[in-house]
Structure 1
């Protein structure tokens, strides 16, 4: 059952009103040049042309020529180009239209949407633009705006909003008229008026009037539509007056108001323009399609049709990632087992942004080709972002954030002459590292490029002064000297590379025309920076290496290259439109580079681009609306959750009131989309041969999902078979009893093949085999077999080498924090994105600075003590002799002067030459009355602790490190059979000597208390640092002939809050105990009972830690087990740079 709406000419000329019958007639007669097909969407037009060409060739045995098809907008633009005044350009793109609206927003006198001096987001302005444009699409003009809005009985909800909306509408139209520009709605209205005026003029001649600019016999056939905007209806009405036949084919049942209410209103509106509406009856009124037309969403009578359920399957899955995985497995099954062509399968969704990247990944894994009709945002293209960042460098005064983006761009090459005379790239990594450490900001407010030249010069002078000072001292620190010399070379190189950059960025930023702006982008960036050469080399390399890839990998690689070329092509198209129209509007007016760039960014903000479609290639993945009328044999709907299907109705917040039937029309359109999804191949659907699969995820990382209410409306049509077609894939399924779910048994990837082979080694029976499959399906996410193919000998050697060389405790702790991140970072060794520069000193930098300050302070005092010979004992570990430092409270002023000099010397390395640096400095050494800095506070408490009798003796004691005075790595026996070689650096060890016995405090510095670990953490295998440092030092100590010492482990906190409730003495306030031996002299300060923590307890705890370490080493070396199981996901994952790889947010 359906309707055809046509003019008198069509009714007289054609005998049939069935669209398919008419197509057969056109193909049989071969007169395609007489017809102009108008489709609802571009996707439908593209597919229709392909299928029509195949049918035409099959019937006529010759290729299709003189065939015309477009969407309605394409027809309007064609007409407008033929009828427009000479001084008018083409119809505005959506992007330039948004720029016009942004200008209207800036000019309009607004009271609600923009407060004084408020910067309004482009997203808000875009939303307002859509509201105004929507009003125009609804046929509302400035003249009838207030009347149309107030036509509904309710009073205006918000008068200021309404007045601002009216002001925006007026300003937008004023700019269009002043600039002689037309958006698509104005173009439709202009064309409609032109056709009506032409008809009235020609009607006076009493001749038959045919549409100008088209053949006299041209027939217009509209198909795939279920709604027209008011201006579109006027346009159709204006051309329907002519002798050219016009017909609109609509497929609906007037009895089903909840589903087809829009159609009834649409036909009534079309009939107002003299068009006729005819109901077309199907020969078989009892078809599946007609049943859905009558009763879907309208089943109050309880009508059922159980056979509809035969080819429908609905599946619930855990999350979107697993949903994509199961859909990929299903497609593999349909193609490999059921012999469907990939192009006969379509996956559709209402949330393409949530699925596109997931489907690309999982389909590549299972080896199934896909044709994703994704529209990418132009302002997210890496190539386009690189070009915009290059413009920002000059426009915004050489800000570091912009320079950084440019240097990290894959598309730019900045060359200089090497010492040997050939061209080489500047050292980007060195430049970014140097400037990040210098905390350089740049920007117009600091002087632009002159700021950088001054910063490099100042930094080099600071380094030279420090080198001169050290060389003048009797015993200079050789390590510091070496580091300074190295830094000087790095800074000098960065300075020279920056001067090279200045030559590349030599374009004017003050007074330029739009044509000069175009020239800067084309010649001074794209050509000079080597963009085209980079893209050419990528293509050449791809062509040279294509034979190395599998078929579907080749397509993926080609698509990657095509994305850049399509983005650049779209970018040039917008740039040309921007240059042309802005020049027409402003003539020879000059702008600053910053002004033009901000305007152009607005244009790009709205634009999207798409890679080319691939005819008959791959599984199609697209939105529901793009599948309308395309007869796929298999339809798969994903993301069928409430809020997406149907989309939530958003009340009109910006307009100031809700418009009439807007909510009703919204839900009618949403229901229609679901109906068209179910019936898009009516022939197969009526024969119960069209396969329909619907998936929905139960949750994501943030919330639980509710199934789409449309599913329950579908269940109402066959309630007795609901349990037969619904499957919860989060629960075990008995495969033998579920024929519809046979696809779950498919081995879809190498991962699953390996898992099956592992299980089959132990079991060979058929029943056991399927049990193995079942087990794999529900447990494969618990065991992470990342290595899909058999490992090579070289790979085995690599894993063995990971644990055979000296390792740090960080190696073990990194695995425990997240095994997968460990795998990506330490085994795959993926390059991490450079760290973003922080304006203030980061907590990590503060901690490192405090480490250096207190260590240098003690080292200086230890050096003086050794030279004076004023020490109570000396410890020789082989690399050097260590003496204790005995602080004397009466020398507080002397100590403060020393540590202040050390602090200022170290902080000078971080001086950013901006006022914020003084804030960081004050945090260490405060000059403000009544305030105490971190260094001052540390010194005060250190002097209070002298009564403990423990003297600092070892500072940054290193073993297995690449330092001049480092000790050798320490070999540690883990269980009598396995050992590790350990390297590390102990912050500090304090010593109390009682006769020949030693009582040691191994101390680790922490900035904040939140960073410390507990004994329980060590026993659980979470923390290894302190127990292994204790093991290492005890072994070093005993190897030099010293008796086994008493060992306690403490954390010293630099930033702490004094707890007045604690009864301990002040000397313990900035300490946190990890383990205090009950035999230690300091046990009383920490309220440790005599038998609470004995030496045997300590040694037993260390043994457990060693076994935990052994377990990790076995997982790495033997099991190669790297699951996505972060220990504390909330903390570990928050700032992880690999979240986009592991997909933890969706699994």
Structure 2
């Protein structure tokens, strides 16, 4: 069985009894109050107490009372609290300990880890903190550390690192001593010393000394451990000197090889403190467990045990997402078919952060409850992040990035009046949109809140001036006027809302005490911003709607709410500790809000929180360490890849010295964890009745994975059966001799059932198969289309009417870019997060600015041409009359002066009032000698292009748009039976008139050449804009009595740079052809042969494009087909806001 390590008192009272037998004795006699149980982990303590209480009630027929159990740290803290000096507080939490270490890092004189004035990442500091704390746990003190440095040998890798580590160690201990604070290791050492001193003192007058602070007969039982740190051994040794019985139960066999090397050393260290070690004999030495102990990692003799393979299966999968999906399917099969209870199944991992969210999703999909013992990082809680961002707003001078986080927070409500009920909130979306376009930065360097008031005032003035200017002209641009009026209302509303925000953020940021910091968070943020009311309303809404959810969905919803409450509770606990200890350390010292906030962020950085455990509920998902001593009937290990199992050991990276002994201990512990996973529930494992599944992913989005080397050690125990237990689920599997793998062939969710139904004829046998499956699994709907399972009648009506109103070509192109994104964005209409603000002008903004500049330039010239009557022809489309603009190269200076004024007027809209704006301005019109701006380059090309003989005539011609001078939508017949109503805006149309015949160039502006599309793109159904604009204009043109024109389609590139590879570049300038009609006058400039691109070719191409559009409309309206199949996924997915929903990176 193992070893019992005990003191003389335990040996006299209980002799060499094993732990299980002692438990039977305790329960039979019912004297639980005499015992103090000490478990290896909190999880083990929790499960042990539950199982013990059940057994006790079953035996004694009364509830369990006076039962004491904790982990070792809990026992230490109890002793420390009873023995500490009066001026010492409680043992530091890990979070506050990290703050102390951060202060030590800032104070220490370092040469390697921090250069002069360098900002070091908290992650690096955390690693260093763990190294120092690990050294303390290994029993190394400052004095010992000095001896290590003086004893430099070949294992010293980096002396500067080592010296910095010593300096950090010294500074950390100095701060603890100055502040009279204790971390857990210091508390252990203090308690050990106090107990030893007390014993020595009492031993002078008393032969039998019992532990103070405990009952005289209290017996201490340690179980579930396979290692102790050096200070912990000293502490146990100090307790063992007393008359109170103490015993440590170790599952260890001295003859079982190197796997338990740590145990040998551990027992020897415990014996140094006067403890006795007794081996409890195992009745059957030839068990599966003992075989693994001897040969799992030491099989040089080639020993094998084929029967071990009977209940072990190892599976390779494509990636972590599919790994989670397969495990969920397996668990559902085990529960529904094999009748295992969910609580009898455990999924373990060494990388919980990679799997927790995946398991929550896939298990909810298959309808299996889970109990995930996940510890969430407090600094990732949305609620906590919102509170910190609110503090950042004032502490850092009202930066836009902080205001944005606050406004996007679900937990805050900013009302235009102070009363909560029925009051209007500020328009967050409008504010963010306005400020993003204004490129406002904020912050202390720009003047804080005064900066924003000035920016809003300036922006309103710019808009008013522009409106006044337009209204003073004879023919103002109605579209621009409407946009300016709309923008003015938006800016005015944003200004008023910002003034409301200022009332909420009225707390002091300069000189405050720690108590005032506490008050700001509690009263001026959490209460004033409505956090508690929001959480209350969430709970009320959840209670009202719980009946709408299925059983396991209810629990998931409750967990979501609990997560916020637990995070807030942990946050308050840390805030109280921070306030108390910082006040003790600094008395009434005053800080700036920014200083206190940065200190508090360090405290939060290291903290985690956990939602409540659910006893006997669901499949347990936890780490391997937390399964120790808790028996399960099915053990599933996921993520069995090298680097996780075993974990890498890299102390030298920060310490600068190899610690061979520590590294050896690390790998021995890693081996032990794998052994304990395999042998969990030893009774069933020895009987070959415990199921074991091991999964590993082959890759993720960035790299290939290597299977854990521990798997190869396992294969060596039954090499002839490797093919029977290993399954590569990325390849087709022949289902023969696949015991324990039947679950691969079943349907575990509505999703899978619907997918199979869509692709399989329903024969009588298949119908029986589905009936059987449905009798076992949850049958939610009769409809065999996955999407329709969730659609309401209103949604069906929405689909039917989706294309009845005028649509844009973007509607069609968005579907082809990614059908799934189209579905989420245009049909589900999920709210998009506001666009992140770019410091410089984005390409999209540059393109928009250039569009406006050149259009206003031509409109101004067209207006002058119409007024002076100097035009060759006029075209009337009904909404207004259009005249051609004939550029004259000799007027270049006059044109440049005009377009420069227009450019500077337009750029005022984007002026960010920071020096970087001048860089953007220079890109449009350069004042630097030898450099030419985009506007200057465009004008040069336009003047050279006048020899083509085409005159710009239509600029931003809109149809179906909500503008005063917009033309009506254009109906387009797609196939004789179906039609669409089209809306849009054509950038520009140039006209060449020969008698009554018109030769048209439909031009679309692009910033860069990579944005253009080709005829092949149109034929493939990827692009629709240019061909549909051609159809629309030809119809508008014909409806006004004009003959059918010759049409060519071109792109004009603003950021055009010469390319020696392009043919005829000198004649085509900054134009790229999409389609040039062979009858067009410009065909010679583009080397188009006479019969190369005829009107019939053009019309045939148009017909294909219309059929492509019809196909998309049918997929949307009738088939409701929205797969995750993005076109050119690298481009489409790179900036997609829905990647986390579709999971394309892991599918």
Q: TM-score, normalised by structure 1?
A: 0.97
Would you say the 8 A contact 1:786–1:1122 is kept in 2? no
Cα drift, residue 368 of structure 1: 1.0
Within 5 Å, give how 1:347-746 maps onto structure 2. Answer: 347-417=347-417, 423-735=423-735, 737-746=737-746
Change (3 A) 1:610 1:485: same
Would you say the 8 A contact 1:317–1:323 is kept in 2? yes
Would you say the 8 A contact 2:348–2:622 is kept in 1? yes
Name which of structure 1's ranges 843-852 and 854-863 shifts more when overlaid on structure 2: 854-863
Would you say the 8 A contact 2:157–2:652 is kept in 1? no
Quick one: distance in 2 between partners of 1:553 and 1:373? 18
Would you say the 8 A contact 1:755–1:776 is kept in 2? no
Quick one: distance in 2 between partners of 1:871 and 1:73? 93
Cα drift, residue 254 of structure 1: 3.0
SS in structure 2 of the partner of residue 483 of structure 1: helix
Aligned to 1:795: 795
Would you say the 8 A contact 2:1077–2:1094 is kept in 1? yes
Quick one: distance in 2 between partners of 1:871 and 1:41? 90
| Paired residue total | 1147
Would you say the 8 A contact 2:817–2:1127 is kept in 1? yes
Name which of structure 1's ranges 934-943 and 271-280 shifts more when overlaid on structure 2: 271-280
Q: TM-score, normalised by structure 2?
A: 0.97
Deviations 1:831-851 (A, max 9, x none): 000111111111101100110
What is the RMSD of the two structures over their aligned residues, measured on CA atoms? 2.7
Name which of structure 1's ranges 1034-1043 and 181-190 shifts more when overlaid on structure 2: 1034-1043
Would you say the 8 A contact 2:814–2:822 is kept in 1? yes
Name which of structure 1's ranges 622-631 and 643-652 shifts more when overlaid on structure 2: 643-652
Change (3 A) 1:466 1:1111: same
Would you say the 8 A contact 1:785–1:1121 is kept in 2? no
Would you say the 8 A contact 1:732–1:778 is kept in 2? no
Change (3 A) 1:447 1:991: same
Would you say the 8 A contact 1:517–1:593 is kept in 2? yes
Would you say the 8 A contact 2:257–2:293 is kept in 1? no
Quick one: distance in 1 between partners of 2:1060 and 2:891? 28
SS in structure 1 of the partner of residue 471 of structure 2: helix
Quick one: distance in 2 between partners of 1:1137 and 1:955? 33
Change (3 A) 1:788 1:341: farther
Change (3 A) 1:225 1:233: same
Would you say the 8 A contact 2:945–2:1069 is kept in 1? no
Aligned to 1:277: 277
Name which of structure 1's ranges 844-853 and 732-741 shifts more when overlaid on structure 2: 732-741
Name which of structure 1's ranges 418-427 and 901-910 shifts more when overlaid on structure 2: 418-427
Name which of structure 1's ranges 353-362 and 274-283 shifts more when overlaid on structure 2: 274-283
Cα drift, residue 169 of structure 1: 0.5
Deviations 1:234-286 (A, max 9, x none): 11111111111111111123344442111111111111111111222211112
Change (3 A) 1:83 1:389: same
Cα drift, residue 153 of structure 1: 4.4
Deviations 1:183-227 (A, max 9, x none): 000000001111111111111114201111111111111111111
Cα drift, residue 610 of structure 1: 0.5
Deviations 1:761-809 (A, max 9, x none): 5433359969999999999999996516175443332222223322211
Quick one: distance in 1 between partners of 2:1030 and 2:507? 61
Name which of structure 1's ranges 371-380 and 1071-1080 shifts more when overlaid on structure 2: 1071-1080
Would you say the 8 A contact 1:253–1:294 is kept in 2? no
Quick one: distance in 2 between partners of 1:303 and 1:367? 43
Cα drift, residue 987 of structure 1: 0.7
Cα drift, residue 1060 of structure 1: 4.5
Quick one: distance in 2 between partners of 1:419 and 1:809? 47
Cα drift, residue 136 of structure 1: 0.6
Name which of structure 1's ranges 1064-1073 and 673-682 shifts more when overlaid on structure 2: 1064-1073
Deviations 1:750-770 (A, max 9, x none): 212323444455433359969
Change (3 A) 1:436 1:384: same
Name which of structure 1's ranges 268-277 and 110-119 shifts more when overlaid on structure 2: 268-277
Would you say the 8 A contact 1:783–1:1123 is kept in 2? no
Cα drift, residue 85 of structure 1: 0.5
SS in structure 1 of the partner of residue 486 of structure 2: helix
Would you say the 8 A contact 1:315–1:696 is kept in 2? yes
Name which of structure 1's ranges 891-900 and 252-261 shifts more when overlaid on structure 2: 252-261
Cα drift, residue 980 of structure 1: 2.1
Quick one: distance in 2 between partners of 1:450 and 1:957? 42
Gaps of 5+ in 2: none
Deviations 1:826-882 (A, max 9, x none): 111100001111111111011001101111111111122122222112222222222
SS in structure 1 of the partner of residue 989 of structure 2: strand
Gaps of 5+ in 1: none
Name which of structure 1's ranges 1117-1126 and 59-68 shifts more when overlaid on structure 2: 1117-1126
Would you say the 8 A contact 1:150–1:156 is kept in 2? no
SS in structure 2 of the partner of residue 785 of structure 1: coil
Would you say the 8 A contact 2:758–2:784 is kept in 1? no
Would you say the 8 A contact 1:754–1:788 is kept in 2? no
Quick one: distance in 2 between partners of 1:524 and 1:664? 53
Quick one: distance in 1 between partners of 2:655 and 2:956? 66
SS in structure 2 of the partner of residue 696 of structure 1: strand
Cα drift, residue 612 of structure 1: 0.5
Deviations 1:416-436 (A, max 9, x none): 249999632111111111111
Would you say the 8 A contact 2:923–2:934 is kept in 1? yes
SS in structure 2 of the partner of residue 116 of structure 1: coil
Would you say the 8 A contact 2:754–2:784 is kept in 1? no
SS in structure 2 of the partner of residue 541 of structure 1: helix
Name which of structure 1's ranges 263-272 and 733-742 shifts more when overlaid on structure 2: 733-742
Deviations 1:1005-1025 (A, max 9, x none): 011111111222222222221
Quick one: distance in 2 between partners of 1:29 and 1:152? 59
SS in structure 1 of the partner of residue 64 of structure 2: coil
Change (3 A) 1:505 1:349: same
Aligned to 1:1135: 1135
Cα drift, residue 986 of structure 1: 1.0
Deviations 1:963-1008 (A, max 9, x none): 2222222222223333222221111111111222221111110111
Would you say the 8 A contact 1:955–1:988 is kept in 2? yes
Cα drift, residue 478 of structure 1: 2.7
Deviations 1:938-977 (A, max 9, x none): 1111011000001111111112222222222222222333
Would you say the 8 A contact 1:369–1:618 is kept in 2? yes
Aligned to 2:1004: 1004
Would you say the 8 A contact 2:754–2:786 is kept in 1? no
Name which of structure 1's ranges 588-597 and 691-700 shifts more when overlaid on structure 2: 691-700
Quick one: distance in 1 between partners of 2:777 and 2:868? 74
Name which of structure 1's ranges 487-496 and 590-599 shifts more when overlaid on structure 2: 487-496
SS in structure 2 of the partner of residue 803 of structure 1: coil
Would you say the 8 A contact 1:876–1:882 is kept in 2? yes
Name which of structure 1's ranges 725-734 and 160-169 shifts more when overlaid on structure 2: 725-734
Would you say the 8 A contact 2:16–2:280 is kept in 1? no
Cα drift, residue 8 of structure 1: 1.4
Change (3 A) 1:1090 1:751: same
Change (3 A) 1:267 1:500: same
Name which of structure 1's ranges 216-225 and 1105-1114 shifts more when overlaid on structure 2: 1105-1114
Cα drift, residue 739 of structure 1: 3.6
Change (3 A) 1:347 1:1057: same
Cα drift, residue 584 of structure 1: 0.5
Change (3 A) 1:218 1:772: closer
Deviations 1:464-491 (A, max 9, x none): 2222222222222233222222222222
Change (3 A) 1:672 1:1112: same
Would you say the 8 A contact 1:16–1:22 is kept in 2? no
Change (3 A) 1:152 1:66: farther
Change (3 A) 1:513 1:983: same
Name which of structure 1's ranges 594-603 and 999-1008 shifts more when overlaid on structure 2: 999-1008
Quick one: distance in 2 between partners of 1:531 and 1:975? 57
SS in structure 1 of the partner of residue 424 of structure 2: strand
Cα drift, residue 723 of structure 1: 1.7
Would you say the 8 A contact 1:431–1:494 is kept in 2? yes
